[in-house]
Amino acid sequence: MPIDGNGFELGGYTRPDSTQFNELPAHVWPTTARRRSNDEENPGSVEIGGVSLVDIAKEFGTPVFVVDEQDFRSRCRSMAKAFRGAENVHYASKAFLSKTIARWVMEEGLHLDVASGNEMAIALAAGFPAKDMTFHGNNKSTAELRDAISAGVGKIVLDSRSELRRLSQVAAEAGVVQDVLVRVKPGVEAHTHEFIATAHEDQKFGFSLASGSALEAANLVEEDDNLRLIGLHCHIGSQIVDSDGFILAAERVFSLVERLVERHGTEISKHFNTLDLGGGFGIAYTAGEQPLDVAPLADEILTAVDKLAQRIGIETPTVAVEPGRAIVGPSMVTVYEVGTLKDVTIDEGMTRRYVSVDGGMSDNIRPALYGSNYDGRVVNREVSGSRIPTRVVGKHCESGDILINDANYPDDIVEGDLFALAATGAYCYAMASRYNMLTRPPVVSVCDGQVTQILRRETVQDLLSLECETPR
């Protein structure tokens, strides 16, 4: 029988015992998440970081994002250890960024990737050192390039010939030699446990390895007085949990390194010292998925790169990686309040319960956009009803506003319950919208029994502040 994302059988009623539903899968939920057995007021409620989610909902309202600081920092440290140095791990700020997150990353010694001038500005406002930033993007404006050089950004990833020309000019005007990486399309696409070794040329990022444009760009940089080629960059996909795709990408990128050595000699390795393999490390979103085991994956990648460097007679470059989701994703949950419950006939003699919550696609577009699955649990108490076909939906005027599409949940979920989705740290707030003029939720951090607001809830006043008076 098919199994839903929470490990429950689909396709009808199941045994009345809902013990399994009350469990919090440790590999999906934040490290410190647990149910309270000694909470007299809310027995069986969930706490994270020693703070009750019920108390957080009372203080900050719902929806609310809750990030476990201990979990976040622990994942930073695991990545740093696996890749032989915190400076080799560049947190991908596009996953989720705030001043607080930037400070945590800085305190853990990691570097930071930014993909826009505004991401850079937020990091700088947090005191993050510009020299430890890498600036990404396929269409950086001249203003962004000027701001990056003015701030002293350590590395800029070149993505096109026109950007190479503009950056050289901006660097010349500033009187600096800017360190750059050339982004390469290695002909490898990896996604959700599989990778495809094909051309995969039809995408907006990077220079083609197959056509020779990557080699041409690298040679142009090597000969440019205003730019210094310190390495190559590639990115092969997302939700990757094994090393095969990364190693194949490294092998293909090293074919370019070999060509550079043939033209410029092994002396190039004195300044060519970085192989950035990008991000894409996978996490477990549901109980049935397996999380990334970063240590053996890193060992396999580093060993392969060392052998590739030895083969062409250069010093082994530093391997940099760009985890975003793999750090912040499992560290955060979103807490909603249950509202309308509706039973809908879907087949003869069979109904589906629609559980509506007070958020939806405005705070988590991923299910609607990608068909993403999540682990959802009632967090203000334990439930004990019979499991029935259930769909969790948001409150937007949109039929595709679905958070959990097909699950078997206990039938005693009621209006007013708190319902939380786990692993919502990556791309949920970052991609949040104001659809139906819903305002973006607050973000709070928890640690050692303390709760701190990171970002406040938007208000209708925030919406109205954008309005411009027009003549009548």
Strand arrangement, sheet containing 51-52: 34-35, 46-48, 51-52
Q: SS3 sequence, the chain?
A: CCECCCCCECCCCCCCCCHHHHCCCCCCCCCCCEECCCCCCCCCCEEECCEEHHHHHHHHCCCEEEEEHHHHHHHHHHHHHHCCCHHHEEEECCCCCCHHHHHHHHHCCCEEEECCHHHHHHHHHCCCCHHHEEECCCCCCHHHHHHHHHHCCCEEEECCHHHHHHHHHHHHHHCCCEEEEEEEECCCEEECCEEECCCCCCCCCCEECCCCHHHHHHHHHHCCCCEEEEEEECCCEECECCCHHHHHHHHHHHHHHHHHHHHHCHHHHHCCCEEECCCCECCCCCCCCCCCCHHHHHHHHHHHHHHHHHHHCCCCCEEEECCCHHHHCCCEEEEEEEEEEEEEEEECCEEEEEEEECCCCCCCCHHHHHCCCCCEEECCCCCCCCEEEEEEECCCCCCCCEEEEEEEEECCCCCCCEEEEECCCCCCCCCCCCHHHCCCCCEEEEECCEEEEEECCCCHHHHHCCCCCCCC
252 is in an annotated binding site: no
Closest CA to 271 of 310, 230, 316, 306: 230
The answer on whether 108 is annotated among ligand-binding residues is no
Structural tokens at position 38: 């000694």
Query: Is 175 annotated as a binding-site member?
Result: no
With tokens 């509706």, the residue in question is: 342
Q: Which position among 397, 428, 447, 468 bears the catalytic label?
A: 397
Determine the Cα–Cα distance for residues 11 and 347; give it in Å rounded to an integer.
11
Do 174 and 151 touch, CB atoms closer than 8 A?
Answer: no
According to the annotation, is 127 in a ligand binding site?
Answer: no
277-307 burial, b for 16+ CB within 10 Å, e for fewer? bbbbbbbbbbbbbebbebeebbeebbebbee
Annotation says 468 is catalytic: no
Q: CA-to-CA distance for 456 and 472, rounded, in angstroms?
A: 34
161 annotated as a binding-site residue: no
Binding residues: 280, 322-325, 366, 370, 398, 427
Q: Which residues are catalytic?
A: 397
Binding residues for substrate: 325, 366, 370, 398, 427
Binding residues for pyridoxal 5'-phosphate: 280, 322-325, 427
